[in-house]
Structure 1
Amino acid sequence: MDCIYIVLLFCHSFEHSKRFTVMPHIHPSIHTFTHRYIFSSCKNVHYDLVFILDTSSSVGKENFEKVRQWVANLAESFDIGPDKTRVAVVRYSDRPTTEFSLGRYKTLEEVRRAARSIKYIGGNTMTGDAISYITTNIFTEREGARPAVLGIQRVAILMTDGRSQDYVLEPSKAAHEAGIRMFAVGVGEALKVELEEIASEPKNAHVFHVSDFNAIDKIRGRLRRRLCESKYCTPALLETAMDFSTNCINIMQQYMCCDNREQDLPFPLNQGSPTWCPRALGCPRGPHESPADLF
């Protein structure tokens, strides 16, 4: 058990090293686990990714310049391209506006240049309206999102600095049900309860809060790790999860079992042999404290 945790920590430290090898005495199934998931990064995980940025009057022009640079810097974490990660930006105050849509820019440098030119507007803080907007208007094939059948994960990162002037709960639920993974970044007086309503489960992995805009860079690395280190299980409607092919995966050091659409199943799976799972009849639903619990 102890050596498993040593291996995981060692892999994190050398995630990009081509010279790294797993110690030969580790169980071969654990070798497969560490190789498959610890080496996962934003360069080999592709998303349809939307930034939702609060441009209300309380943010201010000077602070919004920091937001622009934060988006440009975070974009460097991804392998951007038509068949890789696509990036869009929506800004909002009184109403949401598409700054650029998914797939419009095909290289990292184009995305960074566009991010540094995002307009600042001022006005009210209609966060719920912005969430509804990305669900119904941005994550569509018309606006460059890829068809759901391709399995490209849809992710939205919302940054706000205060209380929304409309309701966020129902729009957020609709986004979650549409398969959008929501991260909520709060600055200053942003309400924790609203951030948690916006964010996907588990809340502690999808909610971030900093005291002011000078501190937003401090969470960039943590957010990147949330996005890049692990595959993610979206909630599943059981009646749609009929064709099972399981994978055991690592979410925030908690080990879950999912079907081939990356959906978390609430019961031990015994619908046939999985493609990669140490237990012949499938993995029990987690979280588990150690990958060894899966064997």
Structure 2
Amino acid sequence: MACVDTPDYQIRTMTRGEVDIAIDWAAAEGWNPGLHDADCFYAADPDGFLIGLLNGEPIAVISVVKYGEHFGFLGFYIVKPEYRGQGYGLQIWNAGLAYLDGQTIGLDGVVAQQGNYRKSGFSLANGNLRYQGVGGAAPVADSALVPLSALPFADLCAYDQALFPERRSTFLRHWIDQPESTALGILQEHRLAGYAVLRKCRDGYKIGPLFADSPELAERLFLALRARVPAGRALFLDTPANNAAAVALAQRHGMSMVFETARMYRGPVPQIDGQRIFGVTSFELG
């Protein structure tokens, strides 16, 4: 990726170690990243993470991950508070958009910033709602549930591709194998009919994605993963606001909405079946 250099301010691709800076800043913003997100995210596109340095000091970050030739996702757009409003964020934003030039770009932005994103050509597709509850439920016995590691990886990729704008096999391999996580699939008539991943976060645990062919299958996956969360620990699920069954699932299990984002796209809105998406994978990488 091309660098942007001025006498004092440099924008360049992050090293793997510098991705930890973005994760820490995201945690400070209250976004509650997963403990092992950095390795998974970096594997998706090592060139898709930018850092802005002012006289050598990191002051701005952004991720612009390419999933293929046609789709990329923008996240981790953060400027250190004391440097905001001085143009540094806009410079790294423009550098990120240049990297994804020619692709449809998605983002999950703070609702209050929708107007600014529209100025860069983004349009609102739907809201995403973060729900918070607690774990500690009794274990679930369900013979249709299987570890994703026991299934052909090609089957998982094929299922996921119908519910994500671009094939993301490299990311998925790392996502389902990360430490301190549980990845389950659910079978129906001997075929994969849904899957979900639970991972440990700075605060509690998150389920994401939660994809399923029906609300009933989604609930079975949700219950199985909630049972893996230690009693009393926080559990989070990011639901698309336009999937009423997903919202109802979270509310039915005593979860409360604590955060909201605006899913926006620049370019054609991807044609995916949103009614099978009960939990998005992450707000940072889509």
- TM-score, structure 2 normalization: 0.27
Bigger relative contact order, structure 1 or 2 (CA pairs below 8 A, ≥6 apart)? 2
More helix per residue = 1
- TM-score, structure 1 normalization: 0.27
More strand per residue = 2
